[in-house]
Amino acid sequence: MTSSIEKLYEEADRLYYDDKLDEAAALYQKILDQDPEHQAALHSLGIIHYDRDDYGPAVEYMLKALEQDPEDIYVHSNLGKSLYGMVHMGEKKKAKKIARQWMESFPENRIALHMAAAVTGDEVPDRANDDYVAQTFDEFADTFDSKLEELSYRAPELLGEAVTRHVSEKDLRILDAGCGTGLCAPHLRSLARKLEGIDLSEEMLALARKRKLYDRLSRAELTEALQTRTKRYDVGVAADVLCYFGDLSAVFGAMAAALKANGLFAFTLETHGKSKDYDLGISGRYTHSTKYVRQVLAQSGFELIEAEDAQLRTEYALPVMGLVVVARKQA
């Protein structure tokens, strides 16, 4: 990178972070006029188009940026989000075609595999892979709490109330499974002697740590971690986490093993009215049928105590409905 291009790029970035998108876009374009293969400028122009809901050009720029650096996980992640936007704007056929080419070109890239499967509906994996989850939430961490507030996110509060209804003491060992930035902690802390959190995203965990409400936080994959914590918890809570799992049998089985006899498992998930047990949506999140959730709970040794329909949040200003579930591990 020559120093004059470097200076232009720094100036363009400064304008971008000052929210002067038109001026920033003009400078990124100026860089590309001098160096059409400038990867960061291609990516940045893609991001500006994405920010403006202009998903077709966003996708084009992300693809060009990937030609320059096929390993850049941020570009892969932004390409996935742009394809999601394209589908949302009604360009499903085009988005699917690009997603298939993306998957074929990067068969080893775990972000590409998950998001391309979400857009195409082909070869739906059992759950979101660890790299995809960690990358998505590491990137999302800084804006997570404010974004979720904008979306009227209610799962932590609803689960806190649900657990409170079904416990008779306040000296519990509680696991916040997929704790993220710790939004559930204020709703659980007063019930807990020990409050522990597990999550795959280091950046989300760093924010959870700052709350100083947890006794222990671990970076781990949930199902694996639960399998090593036999009969440890009185309560396991999973707020908006099971939407990263399609097949629920392994994670429900592991939660049953990690709970003490009569322990409670409280969680939210988003439901669909389809006949399929689970489905992967274009957002990269899974939805489940209520029948399937009940069936896997029973198979995993849980007795269902309550399953309430609730509005969990909004998406594109529309309500997202789901279930708030409390189940008890059978003794």
Q: Which residues lie near ligand SAM (CB under 6 A)?
A: 133, 137, 155-156, 178-180, 183-184, 198-201, 204, 221-222, 239-241, 244
Give min distance, CB of 66 to ligand SAM, in A: 24
Give min distance, CB of 8 to ligand SAM, in A: 36
Give min distance, CB of 281 to ligand SAM, in A: 14
Nearer to ligand SAM, 59 or 196 (CB): 196
Give min distance, CB of 53 to ligand SAM, in A: 22
Is there a contact between 164 and 170 (Cβ–Cβ < 8 Å)? no
Nearer to ligand SAM, 221 or 277 (CB): 221
Nearer to ligand SAM, 59 or 117 (CB): 117
Is residue 107 left, alpha or beta, with left meaning phi > 0 and alpha meaning psi from -120 to 50?
A: alpha
Nearer to ligand SAM, 67 or 142 (CB): 142
Give min distance, CB of 159 to ligand SAM, in A: 8
Q: Measured between alpha carbons, how far is 57 from 184 in angstroms, rounded to an integer?
A: 38
* Strands (DSSP E) found in the chain: 172-177, 192-199, 216-219, 233-238, 259-270, 278-280, 286-288, 302-315, 318-329
Helix, strand or coil for residue 170?
coil
Nearer to ligand SAM, 171 or 224 (CB): 224
Is there a contact between 31 and 41 (Cβ–Cβ < 8 Å)? yes
Give min distance, CB of 95 to ligand SAM, in A: 23
Give min distance, CB of 211 to ligand SAM, in A: 12
Nearer to ligand SAM, 32 or 124 (CB): 124
Half-sphere exposure of 310 (CA within 13 A, CB side): 22
Residues 6+ apart with CB under 8 A from 122: 100, 103, 116
Nearer to ligand SAM, 8 or 269 (CB): 269
Residue with the closest Cβ to ligand SAM? 180
Q: What is the signed CA dihedral for 25, 30, 34, 37, rounded to 10 degrees?
A: 0
Dihedral of CA 28/30/36/38: which sign? negative
